[in-house]
């Protein structure tokens, strides 16, 4: 930081970084000040927060590997047999 306020480029980097680590107090205050004055960086921050929130919400229907199978045993056996017969 060359002066008391971050540039838009620095703010975008710091906003992204702040999602992984807690930034020093003076950085957080400089970012807040910038966001109050710059609607583009404020929009970027909102979009980044939305992406983060959406990525945590998973409704893909894909089960994690450690969850119990939803297929009946007979279906699982047919799939295993078909996979063994592949060239």
Q: Per-residue pLDDT tens for 8-46? A: 999 999 999 998 899 999 999 999 999 999 999 999 999
CA nearest neighbour of 79 among 71, 87, 54: 71
| Residue 17 DSSP SS3 | helix
Q: What is the pLDDT of residue 12?
A: 94
Mean pLDDT of the chain: 83
The verdict on pTM exceeding 0.85 is no
Say how far apart CA 55 and CA 49 lie, in whole Å.
10
In a domain, 80, yes or no: no
Q: What is the pLDDT of residue 63?
A: 54
Instruction: Answer whether residue 65 shows pLDDT above 70.
Output: no
In a domain, 77, yes or no: no
In a domain, 24, yes or no: yes
Q: Which two tokens stand for residue 81?
A: 């047999």
Say how far apart CA 64 and CA 84 lie, in whole Å.
23
Q: Find the domain containing 7 and state its range.
A: 1-56
In a domain, 75, yes or no: no
Q: Which two tokens stand for residue 14?
A: 């710091």
**What is the count of structural domains for the chain?**
1
Say how far apart CA 85 and CA 19 lie, in whole Å.
48
């Amino acid at each position: 930081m060359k002066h008391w306020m971050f540039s838009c480029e620095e703010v975008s980097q710091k906003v992204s970084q702040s999602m992984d680590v807690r930034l020093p107090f003076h950085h957080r205050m400089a970012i807040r000040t910038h966001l109050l004055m710059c609607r583009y960086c404020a929009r970027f921050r909102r979009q980044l927060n939305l992406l983060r929130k959406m990525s945590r919400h998973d409704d893909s229907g894909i089960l994690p590997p450690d969850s119990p199978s939803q297929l009946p045993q007979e279906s699982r056996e047919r799939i295993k047999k078909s996979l063994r017969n592949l060239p």
